[in-house]
Amino acid sequence: MSPFEVNEEGYFGRYGGAYIPEILQPCVKALRDNYRAIIDSDDFRKEYDALLRDYVGRPSPLYRSEALSALHGCTVYLKREDLNHTGAHKINNAIGQILLARRLGKSRIVAETGAGQHGVATATVCALMKMPCVVYMGATDVARQRPNVEKMRLLGAEVIPVESGNKTLKDACNEAIRDWCCHPEDTYYLIGSTMGPHPYPDLVARMQSVISREIKQQLQAKEGRPTPDYLVACIGGGSNAAGTVFHFLDDADVKIVLAEAGGEGADTPRTAATLAIGSEGVLHGSRSLVIQDEDGQVIEPYSISAGLDYPGIGPLHAHLVRTGRATSLAITDTEALRAAYELNRLDGILPALESAHALGALHRLKFKPTDVVVLTLSGRGDKDIDTYLAHAHDFD
């Protein structure tokens, strides 16, 4: 078995597990006992692959950027998840999980969302599958992410602002879990990243693994070899990164670089760099690294990017970094912004602020001319236009 695969108990090395209230035990057990058989079945694969092709627009292109290649002195490819329906990689997971929920006999979907991207993806697939959808979102995020809230409501979802805690993503997760505890029979919790109790981290990684499956085939066609020298992805909970690396984990020659949100710097209190400063703890159902104080109280993270603003990290990624299989870099707000304007001007592609952290990481690395780098552009920047306009003069 690969050292990077989840074990029987739901752990990646030291990290993972299922720390859940007793009332959820039957739901999580049913999911754990059935998810692999369902998602590996021909019937599921057929429906999932057809929707990824005809509804999402896959395969997403692997675009060779001449400008970034010249800038960094190597060959840089962008995996264009920004071109997916709804504008990011999140839809891959949402489609897969709603098909799974139906096969488990569930009739109602709950989800958490931070910036609203996962909420929009979930509301979209619920409209497609005619299932009622409740999205929990911190009241602070509801106020600062208006367009996504309106999109979810137009799609027919009920968006519930969460007033507890700091009223952001962590609090929305708590509330979604509470709802699930109240309706364990009919409700499926459609989680948005590689986090939560086992089997969610493994399930979400598998739903996103289509990204690395396509990269292999596309690189073979373009470069005559299936493996790159570097894979680079941004990391909030870890789902686009997990999808990017999934089929390369056992190729030790493929270097993995994870770009987390440094905020104003990993050495300041205004950061979301969990891999840099987190310590071991249990958050939202799994043991991983958490930004917390000495009493184990979660410290509210900060990043300019709402999608990376999470005080935890998926257990797979904690394991990859702590075992040395992956390297993590804390990219600051300023580095991410600069990289976003750069790509916009060089290639005419405005990236999501989250993805801009991965682009920022390129400037920290030293490449050989023969290196082939694949960077996952997890989403498009339309949602971040106000932030980009507000800071544009800083980078003239």
Ligand X SMILES: *Cc1c(COP(=O)(O)O)cnc(C)c1O
Residue 112 is a catalytic residue: yes
DSSP code of residue 299: P
Q: Which of 80, 90, 284, 325 binds ligand X (CB under 6 A)?
A: 90
Q: Quick check: 238 binds ligand X (CB under 6 A)?
A: yes
State in angstroms the smallest separation of the CB of 233 from ligand X. 8
The helices-and-strands tally (H runs, E runs) of the chain is 16, 14
Q: Which stretch binds ligand X (CB under 6 A): 60-68, 218-226, 323-331, 352-360?
A: 352-360
Residue nearest to ligand X (CB): 379
Q: In sequence order, which residues have a C-beta less than 8 Å from that of residue 196 and are 6 or more positions away?
A: 189, 284, 285, 286
The distance of closest approach from Cβ of residue 122 to ligand X in the complex, given in angstroms and rounded to an integer, is: 12
Give 10 or 314: the residue with its C-beta nearer to ligand X.
314
Site for ligand X (CB under 6 A): which residue of 174, 187, 303, 378?
378
Amino acid at 200: Y
**Do residues 160 and 136 touch, judged by C-beta distance below 8 A?**
yes
**Residue 176, interface with ligand X (CB under 6 A)?**
no
Cα–Cα distance list, 307 to 132, 167, 301, 318 (Å):
24, 15, 12, 18
236 touching ligand X, by CB under 6 A: yes
Does 234 bind ligand X (CB under 6 A)? Our answer is yes
> How many residues form the binding site for ligand X (CB under 6 A)?
19
**Active-site residue (options: 112, 175, 214, 342):** 112
Nearer of residues 75 and 239 to ligand X, judged by Cβ? 239
239 binds ligand X (CB under 6 A): yes
Q: Which stretch binds ligand X (CB under 6 A): 19-27, 66-74, 247-255, 349-357?
A: 349-357
> Nearest 5°: phi and psi at 151?
-60, -45
Task: Based on the shown chain and the rule CB under 6 A, indicate whether residue 352 belongs to the binding site for ligand X.
Answer: yes
Cα 373–chain centre separation: 20
Applying CB under 6 A, among 60, 65, 86, 117 the residue interacting with ligand X is 117
Active site residue 46: no
- Residue 378 falls in the annotated catalytic set: yes
Instruction: Give the closest residue to 20 by CA, choosing from 207, 178, 190, 194.
Output: 178
Contact flag: residue 187 with ligand X (CB under 6 A): no
Q: Please state the φ and ψ torsions of residue 38, each to the nearest 5 degrees.
A: -70, -50
Other C-beta atoms closer than 10 Å to the C-beta of 219 total 18
**Given 79, 90, 167, 170, which residue is catalytic?**
90
Of 10, 17, 285, 379, the one binding ligand X by CB under 6 A: 379
How far apart (Å, rounded) are the C-alpha atoms in residues 286 and 108?
Answer: 24
Which of 333, 335, 354, 371 binds ligand X (CB under 6 A)? It is 354
Which of these, 89, 158, 88, lies nearest to 123 by C-alpha position? 158
Between 201 and 228, whose beta carbon lies closer to ligand X?
201
**Sequence-ordered strand ranges (E) for the chain:** 11-12, 15-16, 62-64, 75-80, 108-113, 133-138, 158-162, 187-189, 230-234, 255-263, 279-283, 286-290, 326-332, 372-377
DSSP state of 196: S
- Determine if 237 is a binding residue for ligand X (CB under 6 A): yes
**Binding string to ligand X for residues 308 to 337, with x set by CB under 6 A, is what?**
x-----------------------------
CB–CB of 226/200 below 8 Å? no
Q: Which are the catalytic amino acids? A: 90, 112, 378
Site residues (CB under 6 A) for ligand X?
Answer: 88, 90, 117, 193, 234-241, 307-308, 352, 354-355, 378-379
